[in-house]
Structure 1
Amino acid sequence: MTRISLHIIYFCFGIVLFSCNDSDKKNKGNILPVKKEKNVTAKDILGNPEYLAISYGGYREVTRDSQPTIQQLKNDMKILSAMGIKVLRTYNVQLDHAPNLLRAISELKAEESEFEMYVMLGAWIDCLNAWTDQAPNHDVESPNNAGEIGRAVALANKYPDIVKVLAVGNEAMVKWATSYYVQPNVILKWVNHLQDLKRSGKLSKDLWITSSDDFASWGGGDTLYHNEDLEQLIKVVDYISMHTYPYHNTHYNPEFWVVPENETDLPGIEKINAAMKRAIDFSKKQYDSVSNYVKSLGVNKPIHIGETGWASVSNGHYGPNGSKATDEYKQGLYYKQIREWTNNSNISCFYFEAFNEKWKDAHNPKGSENHFGLFTVDGQAKYPIWDLVDKGVFDGLTRNGNAISKTYNGEYKSLMVDVFVPPTAEEIMSHR
């Protein structure tokens, strides 16, 4: 072969090689980047202040027969996401609300690559004859519980990228829940069942299982709750989800709430601020009581707050003729302080709740249960989050067709007209 022939061959080879490389570059430029799903687990979320949590119900009407639409749920998710919420708690899978919520979140994730929202999915647990005209049998569980657990499992498997926690029951062991409470062995049975499903690969091993109940139900109160079944339950849950409500205790256990003698000469606003500081201390004490009981069993397990909150309206025990605990100013102090404490302590707090829900006390519009939301039903932001409205985080977002605005037209003086100073011990007794 001549030298000229070799030059020709090398030249042609170079052209082919260059063409291939150039073609590869062009093709690489046309390949769409693959969206990488975040592999976020309950362990990553719980106790992480970057993942603020809240209890959520999207009901707008006085009955749950009227279910929120997928679009309404999406609108709510955008509002909550804008304020930094990334974890929601739901309560049952008997109705369409939870399945529709999971669908709404899934669709939002498909529509917006950066959208991030996770769910602590609740399965409601009842005793036999709960919510009927027959006497509840607290020693026997409802036959409906098996179906509820089955539905929760199916949803957790359908939406593993969203459902990160399954909670067996809501305040299902506390004895003041006289309409439906069960014994701890019922909760233990279903938690063991779910843990068995994880071990057999029928549920994600990363899914955390708990029960969400009053601090007393977790051993932090009366010793009548201390028994072998509760001890076993504490050992088999992945973490403990406890409730604490100083708000309700302003009526039932008001010692921390009343104005002490050494504060009687303080200005009204200082009395209020001091009382709200004592309210946070009350929650801390309940948290510590659960923690101490768990440790006494030789168990070292995460403890998070599954529920706590403060209502803004009440015409009952907590209103102007009762403990005088209820208004948006106090709600604002409680929300700020509970977030500050739990975030700094790496405790997840599923604040109760996102939006007012009118069905909770349908026959009494001013009943406190209807007014725990940080937003009104029509999308007005209450005092705890007025600052977020000022920052424009809700710009362009709506609820029920309404732009997000402030309650009281944002007028602090108008808000304070409805604010009452906590009573003295004598005043509390006079209302009983």
Structure 2
Amino acid sequence: MKLKTNIICIAIVSIIMCACNQNPKSKKHMQTAKQVTAKDILGNPNYLAISYGGYRKKSRDSQPTLEELKDDMKLLSAMGVKVLRTYNVQLPHASNILKAITELKEDDDNFEMYVMLGAWIDCLNAWTDQPIDHDVESPNNTAEIERAVALANQYPDIVKVLAVGNEAMVKWAESYYVQPSVILKWVTYLQELKENGKLPKDIWITSSDDFASWGGGEEQYHVEDLEKLIKAVDYISMHSYPYHNSHYNPEFWGVPEAENDLSDIDKIDAAIKRAIQFSKRQYDSVTNYMKSIGVNKPIHIGETGWATVSKGFYGPNGSKATDEYKQGLYYKLMREWTNSAGISCFYFEAFNEQWKDAQHPNGSENHFGLFTIDGKAKYPIWDLVDTNVFDGLTRNGNPISKTYNGDKAALMKDVLVPPALNEIMANR
């Protein structure tokens, strides 16, 4: 009887010791997850950021499955990406991403991924056949904000930023833009929820918009409500697209007379370096405006990117900006600049999405991804394929391979030299 009792005691002690050995690790993991805040993540080069949409089909009515989202999360994690940006919570996409990340974390304590959760904001009658009123917001905005709040509270270990609107103030977004007062209203509301303990206290609130909308462009944007908004957000999330400006504001893009004697590849490389300088000037313009109103807050890049196919303004009959080589150089130089400067860059985007311009398969909006829809790695990340980081991972059931079958000579046949600057100016 005594022997049996001793055996039982030893078993109990062993269980307790085992629990003691495991719990600190588990608690430490939980504490680490809770302690990682937006302040820790944003501007930290160890937390690469990217804009993400997992849509495979030509309509968002076809939502990616949970398993498809998990496959994408694994690919992005293998690239060193740890922060995703989403755009709306009207559809199941964002909430399913959060579920997918949660399940991946349950399967692997070391899996780490965070989300900048976007709430879409519209004006009255946006996307309808009714007269659009940019001075009145859509009644749908309230429910969108409340859905975002619910998800932020449900997944506090993952959602680290709430973004009110996407390019919702810039006036070229004619289908839906609102006045800064609308964004200010919702940012203020979210900040009050945070103060009252109805949102995690460490979550950061922002809006993600064009550099001009943040005061870096025309004076028409320099209004009192924008000043109040800049003071209300936790940081500024600005967009910069030299790619699009290669058509709309191409002075930086064209080959200047002083470079006429360079080789074609040197002309292309010089043009991409000017594109980076273009983005830096936009970043500085927002910084200068912010400081001019007595504010000093972090500024991060909510979007920038480069398409690889275009039959429109940016293709062979336009600015000739579009191909994988230029995307690769832009991606490399953009990461180098932002990582060294302590700026988060939510590079646009992870994967091609064909719903964006479903009627035009070769429209540039469908081709901003670093991956094709079927899982081919484009030129910017060929080196990651070479280092086997994607081994064992798939997209749509396909192992990750290189575009052009990894043949750079074949790729370069599609690369065009930007037009001469004097030619561009003569045609304007």
1:207 aligns with 203
For the residues of structure 1 that align with 2:335 and 2:127, how far apart are their CA atoms?
35
- Where in structure 2 are there 5+ consecutive unaligned residues? none
Q: Deviations over 1:254-290 (max 9, x none)?
A: 0000000000011000000000000000000000000
Compute the displacement of 1:431 (Å).
6.0
User: What is the TM-score when the length of structure 1 is the normalising length?
Assistant: 0.94
Could you tell me which of 294, 304, 325 is aligned with 2:290?
Answer: 294
Which residue in 2 is equivalent to 1:6?
none
Who is 1:110 aligned against?
106
Which one of 157, 163, 166 corresponds to residue 159 of structure 2? 163
Say if 2:241 is the partner of 1:253: no
Where do residues 158-307 of structure 1 align in structure 2 (5 Å cutoff)? 158-307=154-303
In structure 2, the partner of 1:45 is 41
Which of 60, 77, 82 is residue 78 of structure 2 equivalent to?
Answer: 82
- CA shift, 1:425, in A, is 2.6
Q: In the alignment, what sits opposite 2:15? A: 27
Identical aligned residues as a percent: 74
- C-alpha distance in structure 1 between counterparts of 2:264 and 2:81, whole Å: 34
Contact 2:240–2:303 (CA under 8 A) maintained in structure 1: yes
| CA deviations over 1:82-139 (Å, ceiling 9, x no partner) | 0000000000001010011111111111111110000000000000010011221000
State the Cα distance separating 1:383 from its structure 2 match: 0.2
Are the equivalent residues in 2 in contact too, given 1:325–1:420 (CA < 8 A)?
A: yes
* 1:43 partner SS: helix
Paired residue for 1:417?
413
CA displacement at 1:33 relative to structure 2? 1.1
Q: TM-score, normalized by length of structure 2? A: 0.95
What does 1:46-61 correspond to in 2, within 5 Å? 46-61=42-57
Please tell me whether the aligned partners of residues 321 and 431 of structure 1 are also in contact (alpha carbons under 8 angstroms).
no
Gaps of 5+ in 1: 1-14
Residue number among 138, 144, 162 corresponding to 1:142 in the alignment:
138
Task: Report the secondary structure of 1:87's partner residue.
Answer: strand
How many equivalent pairs are there? 419
Match of 1:100 in 2: 96
Q: Which residue of 2 aligns with 1:402?
A: 398
- Whether contact under 8 Å (1:322, 1:431) holds in the other structure is no
- The CA deviation at 1:21 is 9.7
Letter in 1 for 2:341: S
For 1:99 and 1:23, locate their aligned partners in 2 and report how far apart those are by CA, in whole Å.
Answer: 44
Measured in 2, the distance between the counterparts of 1:329 and 1:54 equals 20
Q: Give, as a single letter, the amino acid of the residue that structure 1 aligns with 2:22.
A: P
Select 1:329's aligned residue among 311, 325, 329. 325
SS in structure 2 of the partner of residue 315 of structure 1: coil
Are 1:167 and 1:211, in contact at CA under 8 Å, matched by a contact in 2?
yes
Q: How many angstroms does 1:29 deviate by?
A: 4.1
Q: State the Cα distance separating 1:162 from its structure 2 match.
A: 0.4
CA contact (8 A) 1:119 1:164 kept: yes
Q: Deviations over 1:126-153 (max 9, x none)?
A: 0001001122100000000000000000
Separation in 2 of the partners of 1:267 and 1:116?
44
Aligned mates of 2:90, 2:390 — CA distance in 1: 32
1:165–1:209 contact (8 Å) kept in structure 2: yes
